Amino acid sequence: MAFPSTLLYAREPPRSKVFKGEAGYGFCASKKKHFYGFQGHLLVEARGILVGFTLTAANIDERDAAYDMMEIIAGLLLGDKGYIRPEFKNDCQELGIDLQTPLRKNMKDKRSKSFVGLIMRVRRKIETVIGQLAERFGMEKCRCRDQWHMTSRIARKLLAHNIGSYLNISAGNAPIQFENLIAAA
């Protein structure tokens, strides 16, 4: 089971030559905000452990970025409403991937209410992972001047998140329950 999601790496509109030709302008529908920079596309498994990541310019569609991670996906793929596109769903079916998304308000849902509730609960867990990466690891602002430093900082933050998940699993806690990781002595 895999869950793609998107993180934003926003910078002010370019007045200098930082990331010139690499970054792009994008729009974040959930924040209702235009930004300049990059998007990070995550692939998260059911427990909240990160299994894939790709970085694109902000103007690249998240469904197009998902193609970069398709070879590591098997079975069920839960996406948000941004993954609704008939061509993308057909491409997933050809690879044996069952793409499930919440539907927009103007769409009729033939799935059972219990299945839709399950999708929403799992999506909430994925949003928690994104919130942890944004709040605790500062993923949305890397403050780098070149792509090599930015990708290495992102890799360290993703590794730190997975190490925290591993330590939680070893301690018998939920993988993304970081607040119980460090106990006062």
Residue 5 in this model has a pLDDT that exceeds 50: no
Residue 184 in this model has a pLDDT that exceeds 60: no
Residue 1 in this model has a pLDDT that exceeds 50: no
pTM equals 0.79
Query: Domain segments of the chain: what residues?
Result: 2-179
Torsion of CA 61, 55, 123, 169, to 10 degrees: 170
Residue 93 in this model has a pLDDT that exceeds 50: yes
Residue 2 in this model has a pLDDT that exceeds 50: no
Q: Predicted confidence band at 148 (pLDDT cuts at 50, 70, 90)?
A: confident
Cβ proximity of 134 and 123 under 8 Å: no
Residue 169 in this model has a pLDDT that exceeds 70: yes
Contacts of 88 (CB under 8 A, 6+ apart): 63, 66, 99
pLDDT in the model for residue 158: 93
Range 113-123 burial, b when 16+ CB lie within 10 A, else e: eeeeeebeebb
Residue 13 in this model has a pLDDT that exceeds 70: no
Contacts of 109 (CB under 8 A, 6+ apart): 103, 116
pLDDT in the model for residue 160: 92
| Chain Cα centroid distance, residue 161 | 13
Instruction: Dihedral sign for Cα 40, 128, 103, 140, please.
Output: negative
Residue 57 in this model has a pLDDT that exceeds 60: yes
Which class does domain 2-179 fall in? alpha beta
